[in-house]
Amino acid sequence: MTPFIFNTSKSIQFGAGQLSKLGELARTQIGERVMLITDPGMMTTGIVERAVGVLEAAGVTVEMFSDVQADPPEEVILAAVDKAKAASIDGVIGLGGGSSLDVAKLVSVLALGQETLKTMYGIGNVKGPRLPLILVPTTAGTGSEVTPISIVTTGTNEKMGVVSPVILPDVALLDPELTLGLPPHITAATGIDAMVHAIESYASGSANNNPLSRMLATQALTLMGRSVLKAVHQGDDIVARSEMLLGSMLAGQAFANSPVAAVHALAYPLGGHFHIPHGLSNALVLPHVLRFNAVTDPQPYTELAPFAFPELMRLEGQERAAAFCDRLAELSAECGLQQNLRAMDIPEDFLPRLASDAMNQSRLLVNNPREVTEADALAIYRAAY
């Protein structure tokens, strides 16, 4: 058996009502003074107020940072770090979507003042230590609560990653009740994003593609394949919400160790240039990248298809792989997501720039099961247009 490494969060606590345990966890895992990192949208939901109440009832002092932006730029992270240093915090809690969790991870390291953000970019460049860290996701999408990855927008439109097991949290606290109020379009985009994580992890060309990640990916697709439409269209269904949140986490564990590839590489320029939400960016290019890959390597998609769509078991080989790509496109439409780049008001003459920028995502492209050239990327964007 090929050697591999598998890292994940130290403790995972899952279940409806788990937010009520946050105060006790903070006292035991962090201390008396925490920074709670979230975004302006979360401040309007009542969830932050509940979290602060639970923390303060446990005798924990809360320093708020609520200025996280989607696809967080460097200046937001550095502002949070400055505030954390000034407050002499004992640890960090990230509450919200993937961007808030990603910022919390980086602040937990940078608040100690021993490293700089620029030296942390890349794989394995975080030296540590970090402050104690608890992550509480409120979307079923990124799986950031169990990944050693934080994505940062550098300059005006390029994204870079910090990848290190040092930024895996001490506790991932998952409460599906926190996802009940998600609007349908966010539920859809984040749900498809999580499915992409499972698919790309399973098919990854990484040398660390491993049996644990593949097992987690198939279980994630089983849960999300049967639940995503119900979560989108019947948002108060706690069973569907629970299965989506658990599926998202399992997919996060999978791709944290067997990393994602060309779908994400081609999605990032869409977010960087046109501020398209990450999950939607993935959904727009997903079927087209998989069709490209399946020409030379259909087997992963043939194996995965019945987990997400049991009716595809009756098909075999290339036919099943092709049907899998088609069903994913249909699922995206059934979820109410936009179906092509044209619908996002992207000029057609900008596609070559997107293809060129996608080539900068070498950290991801190296994991694709089929080599992607700039000409290939442009052809995929044209197919998605």
- Per domain, the residue ranges of the chain are 11-179, 184-384
Cis peptide leading into residue 169 (ω within 30°): no
Its pTM stands at: 0.95
- Residue 118 DSSP label: H
Burial class (CB in 10 A: 0-12, 13-18, 19+), 294: buried
Q: The domain 184-384 belongs to what CATH superfamily? A: Dehydroquinate synthase-like - alpha domain (1.20.1090.10)
Q: Are strands 149-154 and 158-163 parallel, antiparallel or unpaired?
A: antiparallel
Alpha helices in 127-210 (DSSP H): 184-203
**CB-based contacts of 372, cutoff 8 Å, min separation 6:** 262, 265, 292, 358, 365, 380
Q: Measuring CA to CA, how many Å separate 263 from each of 102, 190, 268, 269? A: 20, 15, 9, 11
**Which runs of E-coded beta strand occur in 56-178?**
61-65, 91-96, 122-123, 133-137, 149-154, 158-163, 171-174
What is the SS3 assignment for 96?
strand
Q: Are strands 171-174 and 11-14 parallel, antiparallel or unpaired?
A: parallel
Alpha-carbon distance 295 to 217, whole Å?
22
- Beta carbons of 256 and 149 less than 8 angstroms apart: yes
Pick from 112, 107, 94, 119: nearest CA to 42 = 94
**CB-based contacts of 340, cutoff 8 Å, min separation 6:** 284, 384, 385
Per-residue pLDDT of the chain (385 residues; tens, 9 = 90+): 899 999 999 999 999 999 999 999 999 999 999 999 999 999 999 999 999 999 999 999 999 999 999 889 999 999 999 999 999 999 999 999 999 999 999 999 999 999 999 999 999 999 999 999 999 999 999 999 999 999 998 876 778 889 999 999 999 999 999 999 899 999 999 999 999 999 999 999 999 999 999 999 999 999 999 999 999 999 999 999 999 999 999 999 999 999 999 999 999 999 889 989 889 999 999 999 999 999 999 999 999 999 999 999 999 999 999 999 999 999 999 999 999 999 999 999 999 999 999 999 998 999 999 999 999 999 999 999 9
State the pLDDT at residue 272.
Answer: 86
11-14, strands of its sheet edge to edge: 11-14, 171-174, 133-137, 91-96, 33-37, 61-65
- Beta carbons of 159 and 71 less than 8 angstroms apart: yes
Q: Which CATH number fits domain 11-179: 3.40.190.10, 3.55.10.10, 3.40.50.1370, 3.40.50.1970?
A: 3.40.50.1970
State the pLDDT at residue 102.
Answer: 97
Neighbours of 149 (CB within 10 A): 22
State the pLDDT at residue 71.
Answer: 85
State the pLDDT at residue 221.
Answer: 98
- Output the CA torsion sign for 34, 35, 37, 43: positive
**Which runs of E-coded beta strand occur in the chain?**
11-14, 33-37, 61-65, 91-96, 122-123, 133-137, 149-154, 158-163, 171-174
State the pLDDT at residue 81.
Answer: 98
What is the SS3 assignment for 229?
helix
State the pLDDT at residue 59.
Answer: 97
